[in-house]
Amino acid sequence: MGGYFGVVSREDCVSDLFYGTDYHSHLGTRRGGLAVHNGGGCTRFIHDITNAQFRSKFEQDVLKLKGRMGIGVISDTEDQPLIIGSHLGNYAIVTVGRIANAAELVKKAYGLRSAHFSEMSGQEVNPTELVALYINQGSTFAEGIEIAQEAIAGSCSLLLLTDKGIYAARDKLGRTPIVLGQKEGAYAASMESCAFPNLGYETLRDLGPGEVVRLTAEGVETMTLPRSRCQICAFLWVYYGYPASTYEGINTEDARYRSGAALARRDPTPVDVVAGIPDSGTGHAIGYAMEKGVPFRRPFVKYTPTWSRSFMPQDQLTRDLVARMKIIPIKELIQNQRLLFCEDSIVRGTQLKDTVQRLYDYGAKEVHMRPACPPLIFGCKFLNFSRSKSELDLAGRRAIKEMEGQDGPPPPAYADPESDQHQAMVERIRHRLGLTTLQYQRLADLVGAIGLPKDQLCTYCWDGKE
Ligand code: SF4
């Protein structure tokens, strides 16, 4: 994934930029970057944040930065922000999304003959540089952004830091959010609205799909009107959105309570304790416990002093080890209990299987699992969303492959919770994980818990519908 924050102020903006960008640290684990316009041009810093938090990497740089406009990014992929010289003027750019047709766009760009790329990583073109190249084809920034958006398959939301303010552009189907905030003498654009309250900003509004605005210290100017069709990612409310953030007017934590309550309403299973797999299962579990009138407890606690962020080592073995080290079981709360856990989703299921075994080792009588979304059976094509990147690793796809005897697009019946195929798939996953019962959220209930009409949400992960 990734996240961005931009601010334009009558005063120095660096402190707001630093903390505002830091509030996106849960969205990426590879690179952090800041660019500040100081009147004469842009100054930029980029750091590897694989093994250290954004704040600790940038606290010295921030002392050297000064300016009234800036953009920042947490990136799960490439180095950003990039500083680009073009006929439109010099500017800095950050992007979040996934350019599914990057190879084709690179080929077309080489067809222009004069195009070149300077941010190569191995054989790979930096996707943000590719977007900039298409923006540079416009006669204005707004026109260039339009050209880039039309060319991109997938999605791309971006911020541009220019001499004349910050351009904020949401991807054309609104898969990722951009929220505008305001305080006396300053405007900000953010992926996460949770960046606003502690910096003194009030939320102004969400950008619409494909909308482009220009922020100056004086206000917000619409450069391109929003499109009518929206496909915002439903996974924001299930897993990766921050609980204190609100998108399209719907708060994440609140939606998770409704999601947990919906799970509880369909579930007659008698249990002693409801718990969440920390942290993203917690909101769903609170909603479940409140609806069912069963005590909410924490038989697993997260070791927050050193595992406070989602640290993502490159190799799977270390990742599994880190996942295990992060959460500590409490034997006294597990022994002889019928435990029901809410989890945001089951991806591969490998770590969950280990967790379930640990619960039995500590004396759990029963372990019931309630994922807050339906089985994942399609990998995300629209965002760089690491959880479901490799489609065939998904627990649901593995089960389907075993039943169908081959890979390939899953027959639609697997997405229908009433079908025999769906139930057989769930039973296989339950058996593999060693669970007493496994009951997934239904898509209609998840959509109801979020509260937007289904046709305004992307639900491709679960039903394969675009
Ligand atoms: S496919 Fe899934 S993760 Fe990707 S945008 Fe759609 S709902 Fe979100």
11 and 85 inside one domain: yes
Q: Locate 232 and state its tokens.
A: 């915002």
Tell me the residue range of the domain where 75 lies: 2-230
CA separation for the pair 173, 3 (Å, rounded): 17
Contact 180, 189 (CB under 8 A): yes
User: Which of 155, 461, 465, when mutated, tests ligand 1's pocket best, judged by the most ligand atoms within 8 Å of its CB?
Assistant: 461
For the domain that residue 310 is a member of, what is the CATH number?
3.40.50.2020
> Of 1, 28, 33, which is closest to residue 161 (Cα–Cα)?
33
CA separation for the pair 332, 306 (Å, rounded): 24
Judge whether 24 lies within some domain: yes
Ligand 1 contact, 458 CB (< 6 A): yes
pTM as predicted: 0.95
From 197, 230, 263, the end of a domain falls on 230
Query: What number of CA atoms fall less than 13 Å from residue 288's CA on the CB side?
Result: 36
Residues 79-114: b if buried by 16+ CB within 10 A, e if exposed: bbbbebeeebeebbbbbbbbbeebeebbeebeeeee
77 and 181 inside one domain: yes
363 and 425 inside one domain: yes
Ligand 1 contact, 240 CB (< 6 A): no
Ligand 1 contact, 385 CB (< 6 A): yes
CA separation for the pair 18, 66 (Å, rounded): 12
From 230, 259, 280, the end of a domain falls on 230
pLDDT digit string (tens) for the chain, length 466 residues? 899 999 999 999 999 999 999 999 999 988 999 999 998 899 999 999 988 889 999 999 999 999 999 999 999 888 999 999 999 999 999 999 999 999 999 999 888 767 788 877 777 889 999 999 999 999 999 999 999 999 999 999 999 999 999 999 999 999 999 999 999 999 999 999 999 999 999 999 999 999 999 999 999 999 999 999 999 999 999 999 999 999 999 999 999 999 999 999 999 999 999 999 988 899 999 999 999 999 999 999 988 777 655 556 667 777 778 878 888 999 999 999 999 999 999 999 988 999 999 999 999 999 999 999 999 999 999 997 765 457 888 999 999 999 998 888 899 999 999 999 999 999 999 999 999 999 999 999 999 999 999 999 999 999 999 8
Judge whether 238 lies within some domain: no
Query: What number of CA atoms fall less than 13 Å from residue 350's CA on the CB side?
Result: 12
Judge whether 412 lies within some domain: yes
For ligand 1, atom 6, which residue shows the shortest CA distance?
A: 458
Contact 170, 177 (CB under 8 A): yes
Contact 19, 54 (CB under 8 A): no
pLDDT score at 320: 78
pLDDT score at 279: 87
pLDDT score at 259: 98
226 and 256 inside one domain: no
From 200, 230, 260, the end of a domain falls on 230
pLDDT score at 303: 87
222 and 369 inside one domain: no
432 and 370 inside one domain: yes
β-partners of residue 301 are: 328
279: left (phi over 0), alpha (psi -120 to 50) or beta: alpha
366 and 451 inside one domain: yes
164 and 125 inside one domain: yes
> How far does residue 175's CA lie from ligand 1's centre (Å)?
8
Query: Element (H or E) spanning 428, and its range?
Result: helix 420-433
Judge whether 411 lies within some domain: yes
> How far does residue 321's CA lie from ligand 1's centre (Å)?
27
Judge whether 284 lies within some domain: yes
Angstrom CA distances, 153 to 103, 150, 158, 175, stand at 11, 8, 15, 12
For the domain that residue 130 is a member of, what is the CATH number?
3.60.20.10
167 and 269 inside one domain: no
Query: Element (H or E) spanning 332, and its range?
Result: helix 331-334
Alpha helices in 65-176 (DSSP H): 102-111, 127-135, 141-151
Atom of ligand 1 lying closest to residue 387 CA: 3
pLDDT score at 309: 57
215 and 257 inside one domain: no
Judge whether 203 lies within some domain: yes
Contact 65, 85 (CB under 8 A): no
Query: In angstroms, how far is CA 288 from the centroid of its own chain?
Result: 23
pLDDT score at 310: 53
> How far does residue 382's CA lie from ligand 1's centre (Å)?
7
Query: Element (H or E) spanning 91, and its range?
Result: strand 91-99
> How far does residue 459's CA lie from ligand 1's centre (Å)?
6
CA separation for the pair 36, 81 (Å, rounded): 10
Judge whether 305 lies within some domain: yes
β-partners of residue 165 are: 162
pLDDT score at 384: 79
Angstrom CA distances, 370 to 117, 237, 461, stand at 47, 16, 18
Q: Which residues contact 295 (CB under 8 A, 6 or more apart)?
A: 272, 273, 274, 289
Q: Locate 314 and state its tokens.
A: 């490159």
Judge whether 237 lies within some domain: no
CA separation for the pair 164, 88 (Å, rounded): 11
For ligand 1, atom 8, which residue shows the shortest CA distance?
A: 233
β-partners of residue 341 are: 275, 369
Ligand 1 contact, 450 CB (< 6 A): no
CA separation for the pair 215, 209 (Å, rounded): 17
pLDDT score at 308: 57
Q: Which residues contact 208 (CB under 8 A, 6 or more apart)?
A: 170, 174, 225, 226, 227, 230
Q: Which residues contact 70 (CB under 8 A, 6 or more apart)?
A: 6, 7, 13, 14, 17, 34, 35, 36, 37, 161
Query: What number of CA atoms fall less than 13 Å from residue 181's CA on the CB side?
Result: 28
pLDDT score at 52: 86
Burial classification of residue 38, based on how many CB atoms lie within 10 Å of its CB (0-12 exposed, 13-18 middle, 19 or more buried): middle
Number of domain units in the chain:
2
370 and 436 inside one domain: yes
Contact 141, 135 (CB under 8 A): yes
203 and 87 inside one domain: yes
Atom of ligand 1 lying closest to residue 234 CA: 7
Ligand 1 contact, 461 CB (< 6 A): yes
